[in-house]
Structure 1
Amino acid sequence: MTTYDLVVIGSGPAGEKGAAQAAYLGKSVCVVDKGPAGGAWVNTGTIPSKTLRESALYLAGGRQRGLHGHFSTTANIRDLMALERRLVTRWREKIEKSFRNHGITRMIGRARFLDPHRLDVDGEVVESNAFLICTGSRPRVLPGIEPDGDSVHDSDTILRLTTIPQTMVVLGGGVIGCEYASIFQALGVQVTLLNSRDRLLGFLEPEVSERLEGILCAGGMVIRHETRFSGVERSSRGVTVFTDDGTLVPADLCFSALGRVPNTDDLGLELAGVDVDQG
């Protein structure tokens, strides 16, 4: 069993910065993560989505200028995803290099508390008087709308897309739903966005939400508010979303953006003496 001054669980932005600061102050630090460095921010969140967004805007600008062929979305989807993967790889290495430069120990594996001072990492135990939990979150999955990486996607699986659909239905009018809806609309996809609330991005001022909706609708997007969905039927032709008012919304692909949940359910926080609420 190895003892550290600080053990950080998670290598996303919070984990990386917390570990680096502690190491800078002369503390021995270990960072534990079950996957590649960078967390959702690098691997499935900010970096990939912003890369796709900028690429989509570039393609959209080409089409608006009457430049077809080279700007064809069908021909360039593999290039877009390849660019995204290259940038993700660079960011992963940048973070790993930061850990090495600061003398931070890296462990890859699933972490679970044994007690308030010990952590099991796939059978290896580390000890510390201080733990920093930076495990981030994952897409929320509802029964009947589970992503399959084929006709139903979330923000994790959409990055493995190999072809651009002709039509797409987006479930959710929050940040992730609006972002990917705008990305695919820029790629020439006919997008229908179903929002259970009365406006997009409810945390914004109403006039800002209205302005955003106006821009999206002017580009051809169909947006329906206060619409709840009861399920998704999958077939060889794509998907059909069933809404509470009996309307059927068919599309080639369904993108689920129904919020996120914390990655803390398998950490054994109760063994560490941490009380967890259900907020």
Structure 2
Amino acid sequence: MRRIAIIGGGPAGYEAAQVAAELGAEVTLIESDGVGGACVLYDCVPSKTLIATSEKVTAFRDAPAVGLSSSATSEVSVQLAVVNERVRRLAANQSADIAHRLSRHGVKVLAGRACFAPDQPGRTFAVDVSGAGEEVDDQEAGGEKAGQPSQRIEADVVLLATGGTPRVLPGAEPDGERILSWRQLYDLTELPAHLIVVGSGVTGAEFASGYSEMGVPVTLVSSREKVLPGEDPEAADVIEKVFTQRGGTLIKQARAASVSRLGDGVEVRLVDGRTVTGSHALMCVGSVPNTAGLGLEHVGVATDDSGFIEVDRVSRTQVPGIYAAGDCTGVLLLASVAAMQGRVAMWHALGEAVQPLRLKTVAANVFTHPEIATVGIGHAAVTSGAVPARTITLPLSGNARAKMQGVTEGFVKIYCRPASGVVIGGSVVASQASELIHSIAVAVQLGLTVNELAATFTIYPSISGSVTEAARQLMHHDDLD
């Protein structure tokens, strides 16, 4: 039996712990915030729960388009205190579910902070855990257990899965009241009168879209020419159009210099001297890895200039026996990628056959309204000519089910090899793009051709029918744009 120590209880950590325990290892997982880590307790699970609420508001507001009306009122009232209480409850429940699963597999979970001991024994690794000494049970899963004596754990293999923290812009430090990080949103009891979102990457775009859908006036400050600069520009165009149609304001090519309190509101000062005022400011300017204070110098694990731990495709660091996974590695900051990195690390460490991480098969989703889902080779690689491909884009306005649902925006796009027709990528912009992308992701993963994808039955009428229709149109055309 090998002893595994996992530092960090987010998707990378808890998925790795389960795999290692199933393979017969003795596993100890150390997490300071609670099982599930920041992803479950503060980031991904809470934000998507909040966005799920905004989707209900959207459905209510758009009901007249399909012949429905309310006799009481045409407006929907968002009780933010109730919404946020539900957000926190669901996050805690998810944390408890994960803790229960780990307990069933025999994983020992400690609440505390871990770092490599200064005096390493040599053949194994020594990890000191402060504020811990007792195993966390299911009831304690969602919060830190403090006050326990420090203890030392020896392990044959260590996985670093410590995640990241919201980046703080100097001169715009969050105060938890008016200037907020995305982890502080859930303390609000009333909707902002005017929310200024600084940063137009995935996190900024998601919150700007979600609060706009809930009826909040939102100003999105973007340092780029387009929101979501890393996404297909055609998809970003749809998001911008819907956002502005809902009453949102876009300020492009504008970098925030500072954010300060101004009476009962905030003032965002831009680098060019302009100012934007609102009731609250939400800072979405990226994240930084949680790699400080881990005692990495005691074992020889180095970080890059940004603090990320460098790993190979099976999650190994340069130190044998030490692996890293998740946001602390800077490899595609997605929960699904973190989980796969963690699993791959344990398979490799415990001698199982393992396929190295294939980033070209990763599916990702932006939870805006509508959603943007992508997989495989993307727009930039194809349009630049770096990857030869045939492509087709089918607007959802021609899809029968979309018409029934009153959907007018969105599309399905597929890329395939020019000669073989093998599907190498695609994107979907739709209200349930995160679900619809799966068939394209399977095609990319398995190397299916457009002929094979087109031959797959889909329900009629369905939005997914546009996926097979796109594949059918790619079957017989040598050059489609």
TM-score in terms of structure 2 length: 0.55
Q: Within 5 A, what are the aligned runs for 1:82-161?
A: 82-115=85-118, 117-122=125-130, 123-161=150-188
Query: What value does the CA root-mean-square deviation take over the aligned residues?
Result: 1.7
CA distance in 1: counterparts of 2:49 and 2:97, whole angstroms: 17
The offset of 1:60, in angstroms, is 3.1
Q: Which amino acid aligns with 1:29?
A: V
CA deviation after TM superposition for structure 1 residue 197, in Å: 1.6
Q: Tell me the equivalent position of 1:34.
A: 32
- Per the TM alignment, residue 93 of structure 1 is displaced from its structure 2 partner at its CA by 0.8
Q: Which residue of 1 aligns with 2:58?
A: 60
Partners of 2:62 and 2:235 in 1: CA distance: 25
Structure 1 equivalent of residue 261 of structure 2 = 234
Of the three residues 257, 261, 279, the one matched with 2:288 is 261
Matched AA of 1:106 = V
Paired letter, 1:141: V
Cα distance, 1:19 vs structure 2: 0.6
* CA 70–221 in structure 1, closer or farther in 2 if over 3 Å, else same: closer
The answer to whether the 8 A contact 2:61-2:75 is kept is: no
- The structure showing larger relative contact order (alpha-carbon pairs under 8 Å, at least 6 residues apart) is 1
Q: State the distance in 1 between where 2:151 and 2:74 align.
A: 55
Match of 1:13 among 11, 14, 19: 11
* Equivalent residue for 2:200, pick from 173, 179, 191: 173
Shift of 1:6: 0.3
Q: Secondary structure at the match of 1:51?
A: helix
Residue type at the aligned position of 1:121:
V
Establish whether residue 50 from structure 1 lines up as the match of residue 55 from structure 2: no
Alignment gaps of 5+ in structure 2? 64-68, 131-149, 307-481
Unaligned segments of structure 1, at least 5 residues: none
1:19 is aligned with what amino acid? Answer: A
1:79 & 1:220 partners in 2: Cα distance?
A: 25
What is the distance in 2 between the residues matched to 1:25 and 1:205? 41
Percent of aligned pairs with the same amino acid = 34
2:209 equivalent in structure 1: 182
Instruction: Write 1 or 2 for the structure with the bigger share of strand.
Output: 1
Give the CA deviation at 1:203: 1.5
Report how many residues are paired. 275
Q: Is the 8 A contact 2:179 2:282 kept in 1?
A: yes
Q: Deviations over 1:158-197 (max 9, x none)?
A: 1211111110110000000000001110111111111112
The 1:69/1:124 distance shift into structure 2, 3 A limit, reads farther
Partner of 1:219 in structure 2? Answer: 246
Classify the secondary structure of the residue corresponding to 1:258. coil
Whole-angstrom CA distance in 2 between matches of 1:236 and 1:199: 32
Give distance in 1, aligned partners of 2:224 and 2:292: 28
